[in-house]
Amino acid sequence: MYAKYRPVYPPGLYSFLNALVNEKQSAWDCGTGNGQVAMELSNFFEKVYATDLSEEQIKNAVQRDNIFYSVERAGDTSFDDNSFNLIVVAQAIHWFDFDNFYKEVNRTMKPDGILAVIGYGQVRVDEETDRVIDDFYKNTIGPFWDKERRYIDEGYQTIPFPFNDIATPQLTNKVEWDLEEITGYIKTWSAV
């Protein structure tokens, strides 16, 4: 269900990341989930290492010859020092122990490497539908969200981030979903 209904990121995101990184030997997709970001990175990088804590997600992840999956903690991996030109965390950093993860980033990222933290906000449809979804999100399942969810709601602007910020374009992801697809997406929320 997760792989079927989670939104994909817009192509402009990958073009932006590709332009940021000069050398493209290796990337790490941390918190890969179903491997959708790893799959896109594999078009640009010689090797993509993709990790997640969920064995189930890794088992069902997209397969490519240059993607190497493993079940590992974000803050304690088996990777060598100075391994990655790019480290990406898409819609997952709020689950991490920030201090341990950032130590691991500093250890495994090459000196000129980039850490990209990516997230997306609440789905928007139209005024009436947005009201229904927002009410469900805040009032019906609101008490069941993990406390870390607030970082997503705040656009990741409040996470501690001990690295230099890079100006990024504001990307919009427009998709056409039918009722089954939007309810399928909502069922992937961790509070449901």
pLDDT digits (tens, 9 = 90+) for 156-167: 999 999 999 998
Structure tokens at 154: 């705040």
Q: Show the domains of the chain with their CATH numbers.
A: 2-122+148-176 (3.40.50.150)
Report how far residue 117's alpha carbon sits from residue 108's, in angstroms, rounded to the nearest whole number: 16
pLDDT value of position 8 = 86
Its pTM stands at: 0.93
Report how far residue 19's alpha carbon sits from residue 13's, in angstroms, rounded to the nearest whole number: 10
Judged against a pLDDT cut of 80, whether residue 3 lies above it is answered with no
pLDDT value of position 1 = 73
pLDDT range class, residue 74, cuts 50, 70, 90: very high
Asked if residues 112 and 83 have their Cβ atoms less than 8 Å apart, the reply is no
Q: What is the mean pLDDT of residues 70-93?
A: 98
Judged against a pLDDT cut of 90, whether residue 23 lies above it is answered with yes
Q: What is the mean pLDDT of residues 39-56?
A: 98
Report how far residue 167's alpha carbon sits from residue 24's, in angstroms, rounded to the nearest whole number: 21
Structure tokens at 133: 């979804």
22-26, 78-82, 146-150: which range is least confident on average?
146-150
pLDDT value of position 14 = 96
Structure tokens at 35: 């491997």
Judged against a pLDDT cut of 90, whether residue 172 lies above it is answered with no
Judged against a pLDDT cut of 90, whether residue 174 lies above it is answered with no
pLDDT digits (tens, 9 = 90+) for 131-145: 999 999 999 999 999
Query: Measured between alpha carbons, how far is residue 141 from residues 92, 137, 186, 188, 189 in Å?
Result: 20, 6, 11, 13, 10
Asked if residues 76 and 57 have their Cβ atoms less than 8 Å apart, the reply is no
Report how far residue 63's alpha carbon sits from residue 49's, in angstroms, rounded to the nearest whole number: 12
* Secondary structure class of 54 (helix, strand, coil): coil
Asked if residues 37 and 62 have their Cβ atoms less than 8 Å apart, the reply is no
Report how far residue 78's alpha carbon sits from residue 13's, in angstroms, rounded to the nearest whole number: 28
Judged against a pLDDT cut of 80, whether residue 68 lies above it is answered with yes
